[in-house]
Amino acid sequence: MGKNLSIATISLLLVLASTNAEQALTKAWKAACAVARSKVVISAGAYKLGLVTLLGPCKGAIEFNLQGTLQAPSDVASFNGKDGWVIFKNIDGLTVSGGGVFDGKGQLAWEKNNCNKEKSCNALPVNIRFDYVTNSIVQDITSRNSKFFHINLFECKKLQFQSVTITAPADSPNTDGIHVGHSSQITITNANIGTGDDCISISDGNQDVSANQVTCGPGHGISIGSLGKNENEQPVSGIRVSGATISNTKNGVRIKTWPSAHSGVASDIHFEDIVMKNVANPIIIDQNYCPNSQCSNKSPSKVKISNVSFKKIRGTSSTKEAVKLICSKSVPCQQVVLSDIDLAYNGGGGSTTSSCANVKPAVSGKQNPPACTNKL
């Protein structure tokens, strides 16, 4: 272990002493990566860091221990069109820990972000990317003010997130907390996420993703999708969200698919034991998802949704319509369950309502609002 600790100390000194911190950190990472069971430590303090890719495979398990604050460049131009800031790639047995902060300095980038309005927009860097990372754990870190998504997963397997904090203002565009793509056996536990977009977003090609005891808000809630926008999307299955508290968000738990687009499959998706606090659209399946008129609504969604349950969901809704299950006319939703729903309207003027289209949910337990009071 003495040799491994020596590498860690050298890593720290290089980062502290260098005017080109990304080169110094990359050099230290390579040295640690060549030794089994090694650790790179960045101690308390604030350090400016440009784009860096920390590559594997490594000799064995490796830990990135961040105790200080890494600060990204504020200027988007310095990233030369790259879509990540700190990138972990091709690593098995990674631990990211230490209680430190990845500060994306996103304020200037948000002003230039037109991705909500344009079908094609300039790539903005994600705070932390995990590409092809397996058998790994991320714990006790903070991602702050990312220019785009905070944490992005691609082709990861058996990756755990524990006690992660993610923060950005409610009006910061496209700052999804954790975006999961083409990954499997992912667990997110005890995360505290407040952003300007989805707290957690799960796109196509994901299997066996669970989120437990997540605190979400502000933001757009916890979302499956959007799905069906692109050709050849892979199925989504085995998604479980439980024990969440969602507060002051634009949506609660949601499945969203594009109309008049491409085919897809979303199945075995379950939301349970969730508390809503002043949440708009607490329960929603939206198969007409089309933000900022970026698509045509001439034909229905081609994404097939089945085996979905909403159970033990309670609290307050900031919209009168608390449950909205709008499924596709061409491929109606199947095996949808509503059980023990108790959502009170937070405004004046009566109780909450619900709407349904192209779905006949199985209903049990308390239903406030009554299921499918408006059939569209």
Q: In tens digits, what is the pLDDT along the chain, a chain of 376 residues?
A: 333 444 444 455 445 445 578 888 998 899 999 998 999 999 999 999 999 999 999 999 999 999 999 999 999 999 999 999 999 999 999 999 999 999 999 999 998 887 766 666 777 999 999 999 999 999 999 999 999 999 999 999 999 999 999 999 999 999 999 999 999 999 999 999 999 999 999 999 999 999 999 999 999 999 999 999 999 999 999 999 999 999 999 999 999 999 977 999 999 999 999 999 999 999 999 999 988 777 766 789 999 999 999 999 999 999 999 999 999 999 999 999 999 999 999 988 789 999 999 999 999 999 999 999 998 8
Q: Which residues contact 372 (CB under 8 A, 6 or more apart)?
A: 325, 354, 355, 356, 361
Q: Hey, CA dihedral for 367, 368, 374, 376, is it positive or negative?
A: negative
Separation of alpha carbons 30 and 42, rounded Å: 15
Cis peptide before 369 (omega within 30 of 0): yes
Can you tell me whether residue 88 is helix, strand or coil?
strand
- Which residues is 54 bridged to in the sheet? 88
The verdict on pTM exceeding 0.85 is yes
The CA-atom distances, in angstroms, between 61 and each of 53, 137, 261, 333 are 17, 11, 43, 44
Select from 141, 62, 31 the least CA-distant residue to 97: 141
Structure tokens at 208: 């066996």
Separation of alpha carbons 40 and 63, rounded Å: 6
Residues classed as catalytic: 197, 220
Is 32:8 a contact under the CB 8 Å cutoff? yes
Tokens 């344009």 sit at which residue? 118
Q: How far apart are the first and last CA of the chain?
A: 66
